[in-house]
Structure 1
Amino acid sequence: MKPKTLQDSTLAIIMGGGAGTRLFPLTQKRAKPAVPLGGKYRLV
């Protein structure tokens, strides 16, 4: 049995860019990469 790799366990990659004006309520006090998604994931 081979060890699980990041590629095996990754479901999706969400990339966020731009000024962040639409996320402003969430990014007012934290950086975009620190915004939680689904309580578990992070926007990168």
Structure 2
Amino acid sequence: MMKQTRVIVPGLPHHIVQRGHKRQPVFVKRRDFEHYLNCKLEIA
């Protein structure tokens, strides 16, 4: 079965999920998580 084509509408937000392998935590240290968020804020 083929994947459905992703619909991208300019100006509308996207739902983004960040998961680790087998749902393990992606970030162990809070400092790493904060750095990740700051990087996302810079490009948003």
TM-score in same-fold range (> 0.5): no
Greater RCO between the two (CA within 8 Å, min separation 6)?
A: 1
Q: TM-score normalized by structure 2?
A: 0.26
Q: Which one has the bigger strand percentage?
A: 1
TM-score by length of structure 1 reads 0.26
The answer to which structure has the higher helix fraction is 2
